[in-house]
Amino acid sequence: MGLVPLLIGISLVSFGMMFIAPGGPTSVFLASAHPMSPVEVAQIRHNLGLDKPWYVQYFLWLGNMLHGNFGYSFTDGRPVLTKILEKVPVTALIIGLSFVCTILIAIPTAIYSAVHKDSLFDYIATAIAFIGYGAPTFWLGIELIQLFSVKWHLLPDSGLTSIDATGLDLGDRIRHLILPVATLTFVSLASWIRFQRSSMLEVLGEDYIRTAAAKGLSRNTVIFKHAFRNALLPLITLLGLYLPALLTGAYFVEIVFTIPGMGYLGLTAIFERDYPTVMGTTVISAILVVIGNLLADIGYAAADPRIRYD
């Protein structure tokens, strides 16, 4: 039930920020390949309702949005929801793959680092994690393109498919996803590895772990059945905080690799002052984040039997 007020709050702040920002949608028409006459611009402005006060525009938009109507794009006239729904699967694919890769790499690395604290592996893993932590997403993506696409011609530099690809060419799709997913995964690894490592170290120092070891349980049983499960709980909490960052990172990756997802759509909409599309992507992004947090809460309850929600 808190979702609706949350979305209204987010939409109001976004709408207000767009209006505060200088420049408007009609300035795009003046700078088009064939500039329109200001008379036409004024007519279009009127047709789009841009000559109404901002709060009138907002409430009209809100009323339509609550009925599932996100309006039409100012720049191409297409329904905003159609444009977004075309892009959501692309963004979800990048996020999903990055998330899986992050988990598959970060957790075993963190466990091994924690169990072999201060070893060479621990130091190397920490160093790589901090490099990823400090590397901006867009910079890393560009560097990977330079290396793997431009210099070595090993992987494609942009898009989701080759121009010649027909149907669902899985191999072609995978080749195109390697660099974007690697970029997003690498910058995400740092926080996961460090967090899980710290959590493991904390748990490994607990009395019940010593007791389990003293009782003669195997090393693997102690680590994976007792320590890991308890060390996982804070990680699930991190998931809820991580999702917005993952979404933002995906948006940067889409822009660098020219992948037509929600980030690409949102960025061009901002530049074009395409208010309905900006609002639509903001609201949908907010919904995705809320859903992610909800899944994190459910996962937390599943992992810890002591946690129950009313």
Under 8 Å between Cβ of 256 and 183: yes
In terms of CB distance, is 126 or 149 closer to another protein?
149
- Which segments of 116-227 does DSSP mark as H helices, in order? 120-134, 137-144, 170-204, 207-214, 219-220
From candidates 1, 4, 20, 39, binder to another protein by CB under 8 A: 39
* Token pair listed for 173: 């799709």
Residue 265, interface with another protein (CB under 8 A)? yes
From candidates 72, 99, 275, 300, binder to another protein by CB under 8 A: 72
> C-beta of 251: minimal distance to another protein in Å?
13
* Token pair listed for 302: 């599943």
Q: Which residues, at least 6 apart from 119, have a Cβ–Cβ distance to it below 8 Å?
A: 113
Residue 33, interface with another protein (CB under 8 A)? yes
> C-beta of 245: minimal distance to another protein in Å?
22
Residue 123, interface with another protein (CB under 8 A)? no
Residue 153, interface with another protein (CB under 8 A)? yes
- What does R_g of the chain's alpha carbons equal in angstroms? 24
Helix axes 228-256, 170-204, angle to 10 degrees: 140
First-last CA distance in the chain: 14
Residue 264, interface with another protein (CB under 8 A)? yes
Residue recorded with tokens 């909800």: 294
> C-beta of 154: minimal distance to another protein in Å?
11
Residue 173, interface with another protein (CB under 8 A)? no
* Residues 187, 83: Cα–Cα separation, whole Å: 28
> C-beta of 40: minimal distance to another protein in Å?
5
From candidates 9, 38, 108, 134, binder to another protein by CB under 8 A: 38
Long-range contacts of 54-58 (CB under 8 A, 24+ apart): 54/15, 54/16, 54/19, 57/15, 57/275, 58/11, 58/12, 58/15
Residue 78, interface with another protein (CB under 8 A)? yes
* Residues 1, 119: Cα–Cα separation, whole Å: 49
From candidates 37, 64, 218, 221, binder to another protein by CB under 8 A: 37
Residue 176, interface with another protein (CB under 8 A)? no
Residue 273, interface with another protein (CB under 8 A)? yes
Q: How many residues bind another protein (CB under 8 A)?
A: 51
* Residues 267, 264: Cα–Cα separation, whole Å: 5
Residue 268, interface with another protein (CB under 8 A)? yes
Binding site for another protein (CB under 8 A): 22-24, 27-40, 42-44, 47-48, 72, 75-79, 82-83, 86, 145, 149-150, 153, 156-160, 162-163, 255, 258, 260, 264-265, 268, 271-273
